[in-house]
Every structure is written in C-alpha cells, then in structure tokens.
Structure 1
Amino acid sequence: MGKIWLVWLLLLVNREPLHWQAKSFTGKVVAIKDGDTFEVLHQGKATVIRLAHIDCPERSQPYGKQAKQFAAAICFGKEVRVVASNQKDRYKRLIAEVYVNDTINVNKELVKAGWAWHFKQYSNDSSYYRLEQMARKNKAGLWQDKNASPPWLWRKPKKK
C-alpha cells in the first residue's frame, strides 16, 4: 500500500496545473485574415489563431496590407506548429505563437520586420519589446513613418 501511495504522490507533485500547459498542434495555414490573425487547418477543422504578444495594423489602416502580405509570405500554405496558451480572445480566437519549420516564430518575425507592435497590454515577454525597439531604431516596416498609429488607438471610435 505504501508504494502505491508514493507513486500517486509523485505523480501529483510532478504534474503542472492544466492552465499552465500549452496546447500544441500542427496544421496548414489556409487563410491570412490580417497580419495577426490566421486560419490553421488541423484534423479537418479550421481554427482561427490570433497571434500572441503582438498587434498588427488593421486591414484598413496604413501598413495593414503590408503586414498581411508579410505574414502570408512567411507561412501561407505551409505546415506550422501552433503553441497556444489555451486562452481565447473575446472573438473566440485561439491566442498562440506560430512556428514554421519549428524554427521561425512568425509572431517575432512580424515585430522584427516592423509590421507589428509588441502588445504590452497583453504581453510581458521582454523579447518582443527588444525586437520592437530594434525595428524602430532601424526604421523597419511601418517605423519609417514617425506618425504610425498603434492599432489599439486606431480601433477606438473617433470622438466628434
């Protein structure tokens, strides 16, 4: 009886809480809705993915088309690995990081190329902050425009 108790205790102690475990799966990118929202086909079902840690310009916003084109060039039609935190946003999109060939982090590539902001309101990952600062310094992508407006401000209704 003591051995069974010990095994049970070890399993309980070494198990991470479920909310800490990331959901990881592979699938094919079948749609790029905008720079930070994709559809990934996994086991015959399309899952809408919202890229974690970043915010790209909206489609109707300056640089929105470029962000979408950049994202498409990296991963459209390709097999990717999706690493999700098991959280969804208010639109029920799965929040995740997306990897091509298990080496290219699409989220970070968008920031590095200057097509996305580090979304500090929802991320405390300092690596994204550093990538954004480097892109700003190098005037990459939208950082060529000193008046580039972050999407969270662009989305706010204009007050009359």
Structure 2
Amino acid sequence: MNKILSLAFLILFSPNIFSQQITAKVIGVKDGDTMEILFENKPLIVRLAHIDTPEKKQPYGQKAKQFAADFCFGKTVKVVGEGKRDRNGRLIAEIFYKNQNLGKELVRNGLAWHFKRYSKSSNYAALETVARKKKIGLWKDKSPVAPWDFRKKKRRPVRTL
C-alpha cells in the first residue's frame, strides 16, 4: 500500500516527469523572454524555453519586448512545459497563441538567439540559421552580442585584497 501511495504522490507532484499544459492570461511582459501569467487567480512568471532575447539595454532588447507584448499581452495563451523552473524560480515553458509559438516567432524575426546551452532543439537552431542568413533583426548588426555575454560583462569583477 505504501508503494502505491508513494508512486501516486510521485506522479501527481513531481513536475519534471510529465509535460504540462495550462491555459492562462498574460498579465505582464517583463522582457522579450519573460512573461507574467495569471493562472488559477495567481500570478506566475514564465521564462520562454529554448531562447534568450537581448537584454532591455541591448540593441533589439526593447523590440523583442514589444514583439512579445504585441503577440500575447492581455490574451489567453497555452503554456506548455515540463514543469521545470530556472534558478530564479520561473517556470520554463513555451507560450502559444492561436497555434503560434512565441519563442519560435522571436527567433524567426531575428529578436532572439536559440539558447543552445539549455536547448538541443533542431527547430529553433534552423530558425536562427535562416534569420542569420537573411540578416533579419539583430542579425543585421555586424557582431551582435549574445545576451549571456552581455550579462557577463555587466557583472563586476571580484576584488581581491
């Protein structure tokens, strides 16, 4: 009996085993890859899976945020993920509106990188390759700075005595 209860508990409460799909309203757009949704009358922060958009102070950062806002702000969307969270506690998931994937649209429009460090998706990789070849969005720049490199530069070096 204890084994059955343990298995049932594991299935019901382990967020990383099964994929999850919820429907929620987007109530905020923090930046190009981070949305706030209202789910079961509670706010929840969602970090888009597979991508990284420029930081707000980077070129194309505000454009990515505006694109995301135009795509989904105030709308009821489908949020699909595996229940995983990032180090900041944000749910990592994809957001769909009318069967369009926000992350893929950001990459397709040259407003995001495929975040290869955390994603092995060949679909996102192919979308980035096409955007680069066509010089769409941030790929118009001669040497765009990836957001993870931009964040590293912003961190202050540790002082030694």
| TM-score bucket (shorter structure) | 0.7 to 0.9
Q: 1:112 aligns with which of 102, 108, 115?
A: 108
Q: Which has the larger radius of gyration?
A: 1
SS of 1:120's equivalent in the other structure is coil
How far did 1:60 drift?
1.2
Residue 134 of structure 1 corresponds to which residue in structure 2? 130
In 2: Cα distance, 1:19 partner to 1:35 partner? 25
Cα distance in structure 1, aligned partners of 2:25 and 2:89 = 20
Tell me the distance in 2 between the aligned counterparts of 1:40 and 1:117.
23
Identity of aligned residues (%): 51
Structure 2 unaligned regions, length at least 5: 5-10
- 1:18 offset after TM fit, Å? 6.5
CA–CA distance in 2 between the matches of 1:20 and 1:112? 30
* 1:68-125, Cα deviation, whole Å (9 max, x unpaired): 0111111111110001111100100000000002x10001000000000000000001
Out of 20, 40, 50, which is 2:17 matched to? 20
Q: Aligned pair 1:121/2:117, yes or no?
A: yes
Q: What residue number does 1:61 align with?
A: 58
Cross-structure match for 1:73? 70
Compute the RMSD of aligned alpha carbons.
2.0
Cα 1:144/1:89, change in 2 over 3 Å: same
Alignment equivalent of 1:91, drawn from 82, 88, 92: 88
Q: Provide structure 1 residue ranges, at least 5 long, that are not aligned to the other structure.
A: 1-7, 9-14
TM-score by length of 1: 0.86
Distance 1:143 1:157 in 2: 21
Q: TM-score, normalised to structure 2's length?
A: 0.85
Question: Is this contact kept in 1: 2:22–2:78, CA < 8 A?
Answer: yes
The 1:48/1:137 distance shift into structure 2, 3 A limit, reads same
Provide the residue aligned with 2:37 in structure 1: 40
Residue 154 (str. 1) matches residue 147 (str. 2): no
In structure 2, C-alpha distance between the alignment counterparts of 1:146 and 1:111, rounded to whole Å: 18
Contact 2:15 2:82 in 1 (8 A): no
